[in-house]
Amino acid sequence: MAEPRTATLTIGNMTYDLPIHAPTAGPDVIDISKLYATAGVFTHDPGFTSTSACESALTFIDGDKGELLHRGYPIDQLAKKSHYLEVCYLLLYGELPSAALLEDFEHRVTHHTMVHEQMHNFFRGFRRDAHPMATMVGVVGAMSAFYHDSTDINDPWQREVASIRLIAKLPTIAAMAYKYSIGQPFVYPRNDCDYATNFLRMCFAVPAEEYQPDPILSRAMDRIFTLHADHEQNASTSTVRLAGSSGANPFACIAAGIACLWGPAHGGANQACLEMLQEIGTVDRIPEYIARAKDKNDPFRLMGFGHRVYKNFDPRATVMKESADEVLDLMGIHNNPVLQVAKELERQALNDPYFADKKLFPNVDFYSGIILEAMGFPTSMFTPIFAVSRTVGWIAQWKEMIADPTGKIGRPRQLYTGPTQRDYVDIENR
């Protein structure tokens, strides 16, 4: 057997041996978990750029190669050959299902898509102009008040039931948030529709007439779900794990993940990207925006460009671009100004040394917004759709964490820079 490897840390005249763990893929990991106990020092890594926070067997990203694997399977193969619910099964249970297992899983998800009728009242408490993400954070958090029988995190069966409920009900909740915001009646889910078609129906059907989306749209919707299903230890997933590490119930943890996803540097980028393309408006204004993105004194960034991990093309973006072409062809959209700006912006940015040197490539959000807009979604629904897709990743990562017997509450330390102890000064003496 190979000798365990160690890294040696020297502080003053003391040396400390730190174990090195070898992953199945990716860089080696130096284990510093005993460092404070033995050396009395913390490590400092704001933004966790060099820190592995957990062991995981779910998703692997090689940012330099532009590779994304779920349980070992490349995302482009999954996006082209599989479909969202099969990818959900793979993420949750570790292997591709047999036909019988997949049928059973799909049946379980399909038959849990309705939400408790009293949740309708909960929605009605929000203002009509509330952002659907605001509504979703509230309603998903409220699921813990509606589904008590699946909040015991120590019971594997309840964890399983909560997982199915979340995957099944999130599209219903997102669609309800949308319908409420536009003043239309809620549309109940239907068990004879596949997952993506059901979501499109709940968003776009009205009681006054039948609605059947074109299969190309259903397929594109399913791909958007598939491409966003999981993405390793990103900000919202780490939020879910941190919330879950305290023993909080799964609905509360997923609500925390949704809140984190909302930010424009993360899941909010698809909305921000489309709004940016609309603001640019015409191709002649692109150089002005590229100049702003390069200006260190201007906080503006090209939304939909750059990624913490990918320093090459985001493999999800490549598939998303193909889907965008299919959807735009179907909708007969070729001269759309937003699309023209997007294509030209991509071309100019990829040929600009600033973006090339910093390895800033279009990410998944650059194209997803274009497809969603062509499908008829308002920009405010882009991030809720990301939340629906990512729910399986959050849940699978949460389940993996809860099942880990070595799990501990997440509790980072700090580099304190505030005042040291001082005595309280009475108000009349200040």
Q: Which residues have a catalytic role annotated? A: 307, 365
Examine residue 234 and tell whether it contacts ligand CMC (CB under 6 A): yes
**Minimum distance from CB of 311 to ligand CMC (Å)?**
9
CA 298 to CA 32: how far, in whole Å? 38
Which H or E run contains 251? helix 250-261
Tokens 């299903």, residue?
A: 229
Examine residue 361 and tell whether it contacts ligand CMC (CB under 6 A): no
Among the listed residues 97, 138, 141, 306, the single contact to ligand CMC using CB under 6 A: 306
**Minimum distance from CB of 316 to ligand CMC (Å)?**
9
> Which residue type occupies 43?
T
CA 264 to CA 18: how far, in whole Å? 37
Question: Which residue stretch of 200-208, 237-245, 360-368, 397-405 sits at the interface with ligand CMC (rule: CB under 6 A)?
Answer: 360-368
Helices H, strands E: what count in the chain?
Answer: 18, 6
Examine residue 265 and tell whether it contacts ligand CMC (CB under 6 A): yes
**Minimum distance from CB of 174 to ligand CMC (Å)?**
17
Name the token pair of 119: 């949740």
Residue 66, by phi and psi: left (phi above 0), alpha (psi -120 to 50) or beta? left
Half-sphere exposure of residue 118: CA atoms within 13 angstroms, side-chain side: 5
Examine residue 358 and tell whether it contacts ligand CMC (CB under 6 A): yes
Examine residue 203 and tell whether it contacts ligand CMC (CB under 6 A): no
- Of 249 and 363, CB closest to ligand CMC: 363
Examine residue 316 and tell whether it contacts ligand CMC (CB under 6 A): no
Examine residue 311 and tell whether it contacts ligand CMC (CB under 6 A): no
Helical axes 286-294 vs 269-280, angle rounded to 10°: 130
CA 390 to CA 405: how far, in whole Å? 25
Size of the site for ligand CMC (CB under 6 A): 20
CA 261 to CA 256: how far, in whole Å? 9
Torsion of CA 176, 180, 183, 189, to 10 degrees: 10
Question: Which residue stretch of 197-205, 295-303, 371-379, 408-416 sits at the interface with ligand CMC (rule: CB under 6 A)?
Answer: 295-303
**Minimum distance from CB of 331 to ligand CMC (Å)?**
24
- Of 116 and 308, CB closest to ligand CMC: 308
User: What residues make contact with ligand CMC under the rule CB under 6 A?
Assistant: 231, 234, 265-267, 269, 293, 301-308, 358, 360, 363-365
